[in-house]
Amino acid sequence: MTATPGPTPTIVLVGHGMVGQRFLEALAERGLTATHRVVVLCEEPRPAYDRVALTSYFSGKTPEDLSMTDLEFIEKHSIELYVGDPALTVDREAKKVTAKSGQVYDYDILVLATGSFPFVPPVPNKDATGCFVYRTIEDLLAIEEYAKSATTGAVVGGGLLGLEAAGALKGLGLTSHIVEFAPRLMPVQVDEGGGAALLRTIEDMGLTVHTGVGTQEIVVDEAGAVTGMKLSDGSELATDLVVFSAGVRPRDQLARDCGLQVGERGGIAVDEQCRTVNDPHVFAIGECALASDGRVYGLVAPGYEQAETAAATIAADEAAFTGADLSTKLKLLGVDVASFGDAHGTTEDCLDVVYSDSRAGLYKKLVISRDGTLLGGILVGDAEAYGTLRAFTGSVPPVSPESLVLPAGAGASVQLGPSALPDEAVICSCHNVTKGTIRGAVTEHQCTTVPEVKKCTKAGTGCGSCVKVLGQLVNAELEASGVEVDKGLCGCFSQTREELYEIVLALRINKYQDLLDRHGRDTARGGDGCEICKPAVASIIASLAPTIGADGYVLDGEQAALQDTNDHFLANLQKNGSYSVVPRIPGGEITPEKLIVIGEIARDFGLYTKITGGQRIDMFGARVEQLPLIWTRLVDAGFESGHAYGKSLRTVKSCVGQTWCRYGVQDSVRMAIDLELRYRGLRSPHKLKSAVSGCQRECAEAQSKDFGVIATANGWNLYVGGNGGATPRHADLLAQDLSDAELIRLIDRFLMFYIRTADRLERTSTWLDRIPGGLDHVRDVVVEDTLGICEELETLMAAHVDHYRDEWAETINDPEKLARFVSFVNAPDTPDPVVGFVPERDQIKPDLPLLTIGHRPLEGSNQR
């Protein structure tokens, strides 16, 4: 006699954020979606998305890009996902959940992943028109819409989200302020020194910071709209938009209403298995949970670990959540900020090792015990070593602490490789993956690539901060096992970019298809290549064009098909499909007549104009068919392409030098113009920036450039390898007190050696740190000529200088080339109707339609 199967047990998940989605994946991995009915009640009008990367919406990512929900996964595992339908009540005695829609769900297991809500200080008029919080995509859409009629924005809170919100407001065109009650920014993550470095960098970006003051009142007009803020120091700040980002609180009201125990300061109390302490059928995970150690964790990594623990417990596996690593690595407004371990030195009798460079916005602190154990640290401005340092936390590093915080090229600095890490070192804190586990994925599970190791171990699939170290570990383990690591440029070529450069130069190969057919992998020969090698080889051919008999014009013949979008149209593509036009203005020196021409062109074509930090004038909003018309007028007035679109020289910035400045000791403007005209159009692995300062006061900021020149009483000092971008790096002194001829000769050699040996998309700063021997080796090669190649490097540069042609002029004088500059090939006179603009501050900005919001239930989900 066959027994009648009982009813399928039901798991109801309340909340579908990042942690909720990870819980669903953990259920599926343990086969629980096949044995249980799984119901998900999601309050937001869209399923789980990457809240950590929320601000990237303002830099072009769409809500779809941020989505973490794979509809195929939902359908495959028969998960019932209801969006826009939150749980309103829980009856624990009857084990039922009632949703906003009125639908009632029975449950055997209830999992609360309700997250947190933004804390809004109880100040008068906090709910006025123009006040927002910064938590969801819908919040961002509302802020974006309101900002269209605003001029100034203020953010209450100088923590992580507060800084991101301020950056978003600035990106929307508002004058932005940050108001932080603590005496420094990000008081939880960084100390006083780190906060000072962060403050300098953020103020340099044009944001105004008010620390040590609180918000007392939101000032409104007669209609109830925001007009300002009263601060605790008695001052008043004029603003017409306020964003509250003063921290979060656990969202535990649903638990309170049904009688679950909550902490004194909030949070649903759970045990080590993430079960609520007074109901074994109810779990709580993520930011709404008060862990057994008495802490509410506001980071995604602990939430993921809690999700794993809850799923394992439901599956009757042994698991426990007893605490989590609170290390974080963030990029705020383009600035790296990281903290790990005991970052504030709370351990008794500990010591600090500090490196600080206020000019570069760098601050690095390590906390060390008396016996040399690394306890924690803070990194601001450069967090490159975060992965390695965090892995060493709790152990004695094999090198001196000071060598770990000094920047590359500082003499005593040491770069530790993955082999120095112990097997128990945690590489991925999001999923608690150790170095030993990663090694096992390679040696025991035969994983040979980073994607394979990610799939096997989940390392690198969370916040992504460990991916670089992960790649180093995988390659190191493969090499240690005797496996030859493929260091080829891509799937089409087994050679590196440097090796392909040598092949092109030695064999005078001037066509990509010839190179692919003769030297590509067997599987690639006769093919079309890929998006990695096409632009890389195109750059090599363009760099060597005069020497190898290639046409230097990037849109001739085969070369045109190899270019990225920007190079393909000799202009930078903008977010609404229009283009920017940036004429070259060597040294920033321009006549009144040329200024008038730029103004007339911008007026006649209705372009947005902006003076850049590189001493040029950008014009935005040109449609593709307008580009040749604009170029014609610019060329007729004596302008040429500024190559803002290319991996080539952008600008050579300068101060006014001794001609005007009373401190100047050399003519920096003349030198800047000479250098910019010499190296214009030089194609390289990445963009190149330069500057010339007329004295040691360094007003042109030459030490943050790929090659920078500073005047001395005896000539010029040459610095190389600087970078003022996302990963700031001070340039290193290559040679000093050079004459004009000596300076140009060394720059010629340096640039051609970089182009010859750098990897694809590798800035000079990264190249200088990576190349064996670093600065000393580069100095030996380009100054001392130890390899005997300097004459060849100089010849290659001379060929480039002699054969330079302006790409805009080449285009407007060739009817065939002009034919590509249309929106529609079959209707060349028709402008693209998608490209639209709206007015802003007497100019224009892109008109981007708001994205549609999803409906409940989610299409493609199971509905019962």
Residues 145 and 293 in one domain: no
Position 645 pLDDT exceeds 90: no
- Domain contains 849: no
**Is residue 692 one of the residues assigned to a domain?**
yes
Tokens of 394: 């709790």
Q: What is the largest CA-CA distance in the chain?
A: 104
Q: Per residue in 814-832, pLDDT tens?
A: 888 888 788 765 666 777 7
Q: Report helix, strand or coil for 7.
A: coil
Decide if 602 is inside a domain: yes
Q: What is the pLDDT of residues 163-179, one digit of tens each?
A: 888 888 988 889 999 99
Q: How far is CA 111 from the centre of its chain?
A: 33
Q: Exposed/middle/buried for 549, CB within 10 Å: 0-12, 13-18, 19+?
A: exposed
- Span 634-662, average pLDDT: 91
Shared domain for 609 and 656, answered yes or no, is yes
> How far from the centroid of its chain's Cα atoms is residue 381's Cα?
13
- CATH number of the domain at 754, please: 3.30.413.10
**How, if at all, do strands 236-238 and 226-231 pair?**
antiparallel
Under the banding of pLDDT at 50, 70 and 90, the label for residue 250 is very high
* 791 and 659 within one domain: yes
pLDDT top residue among 47 and 325 = 47
Which pTM value belongs to this model? Answer: 0.56
Q: Which of 507, 540, 563 is the last residue of a domain?
A: 563
739/623 same-domain check: yes
As a whole number of angstroms, the distance between CA 79 and CA 73 comes to 8
Q: Where are the alpha helices (DSSP H) in 211-286?
A: 253-257
User: Is the same domain home to 545 and 615?
Assistant: no
Question: Same structural domain for residues 556 and 573?
Answer: no
User: Residue 331 phi/psi, 5° resolution?
Assistant: -125, 110
Structure tokens at 837: 């603009």
CA distance 705 to 162: 30
Q: How far apart are CA 807 and CA 123, in angstroms?
A: 59
Residues forming a β-bridge with 709 = 692, 718
**pLDDT(445) > 60:** yes
Residue 464: per-residue pLDDT: 63
Residue 695 among known ligand-binding residues? yes
Q: Which of 758, 786, 802 is the last residue of a domain?
A: 802
Residue 517 to residues 317, 512, 529, Cα–Cα distance (Å): 55, 9, 10
**Co-location of 685 and 731 in the same domain:** yes
b/e sequence 816-825, b meaning 16+ C-beta within 10 Å: ebeeebbbee
- DSSP character for 213? -
The residue segments making up the domain with residue 219 are: 120-246
pLDDT score, position 365: 87
**Other CB atoms closer than 10 Å to residue 814's CB: what's the count?**
13
Q: Are the beta carbons of 75 and 859 closer than 8 angstroms?
A: no
Residue 658 shares a structural domain with residue 724: yes
- 221 located within any domain: yes
At 581, give phi and psi (nearest 5°): -120, 125
Pairwise CA distance, residues 724 & 705, whole Å:
7
Element holding 433 (H helix, E strand): strand 433-434
Mean pLDDT value of segment 276-291: 95
Q: What is the mean pLDDT of residues 80-109?
A: 95
pLDDT score for 561: 63
Number of domains in the chain: 4
Do 589 and 687 lie in one domain? The reply is yes
Q: 463 vs 126, which has greater pLDDT?
A: 126
SS3 assignment, position 556: coil
- Rounded-to-integer distance, Cα 422 and Cα 440, Å: 14
Backbone Cα Rg of the chain: 30
Q: Could you check whether the bond before residue 124 is cis, i.e. omega within 30 degrees of 0?
A: no
C-beta neighbour count of 828 within 10 angstroms:
11
533 is in an annotated binding site: no
Q: How far apart are CA 385 and CA 398, in angstroms?
A: 15
- What mean pLDDT do residues 785-793 have? 92
Q: Phi-psi region for residue 617, left (φ > 0), alpha (ψ -120 to 50) or beta?
A: beta
Last residue of a domain, one of 802, 823, 856: 802
Chain centroid, CA 856 distance in Å: 33
Residue 472 lies inside a defined structural domain of this protein: no
**DSSP 8-state code for residue 734:** E
Secondary structure of 674-693 in the HEC alphabet? HHHHHHCCCECCCCEEEEEE
Beta-sheet pairing, 208-211 with 175-180: parallel
Q: Over 605-621, what HEC string results?
A: HCCEEEECCCCCEEEEE
Cβ neighbors of 119 (< 8 A, separation 6 or more) are 244, 246, 247, 248, 249
The pLDDT value given to residue 223: 92
Q: What are phi and psi of 386, to 5 degrees?
A: -55, -50
Look up residue 453 and give its amino acid. Answer: V
Q: Give the C-alpha separation, 420 to 843, whole Å.
A: 56
The angle that helices 435-443 and 450-457 make with each other, rounded to 10 degrees, is 110
- Kindly state whether residues 160 and 256 are assigned to the same domain: no
344 confidence band (pLDDT: 50, 70, 90) = confident
Co-location of 592 and 618 in the same domain:
yes
Mean pLDDT to the nearest integer, 561-569: 70
- Predicted confidence at residue 122, as pLDDT, reads 92
> Are 450 and 465 a contacting pair, CB within 8 Å?
no
486 occurs within a structural domain: no
For residue 305, is pLDDT > 70?
A: yes
Three-state DSSP state, 66:
helix
In a domain, residue 506? The reply is yes
Residue range 644-660: mean pLDDT, rounded: 90
Per the domain annotation, does 524 fall within a domain? yes
Residue 854 token pair = 């999803």
The span from the CA of 430 to the CA of 303, in Å, is: 9
Burial 201-222, CB ≥16 within 10 A → b, else e: bbeeeebebbbebbbbebbbee
Is 243:169 a contact under the CB 8 Å cutoff?
yes
Q: Is 790 annotated as a binding residue?
A: no
Q: Which of 504, 514, 572 is nearest to 543 (CA)?
A: 504
Q: List, in sequence order, the alpha helices (H) in 461-532.
A: 467-480, 497-507, 512-519
Among 622, 607, 529, 530, residue whose Cα is nearest residue 570: 622
The letter for the amino acid at 125 is N
Q: What are phi and psi of 336, to 5 degrees?
A: -75, 130
430 is in an annotated binding site: no
Q: Assign residue 189 the CATH number of its domain.
A: 3.50.50.60
Average pLDDT in the chain: 85
Q: What is the mean pLDDT of residues 18-30?
A: 94
The pair of structure tokens assigned to 692 is: 């010339």
Residues 636 and 687 reside in one and the same domain: yes
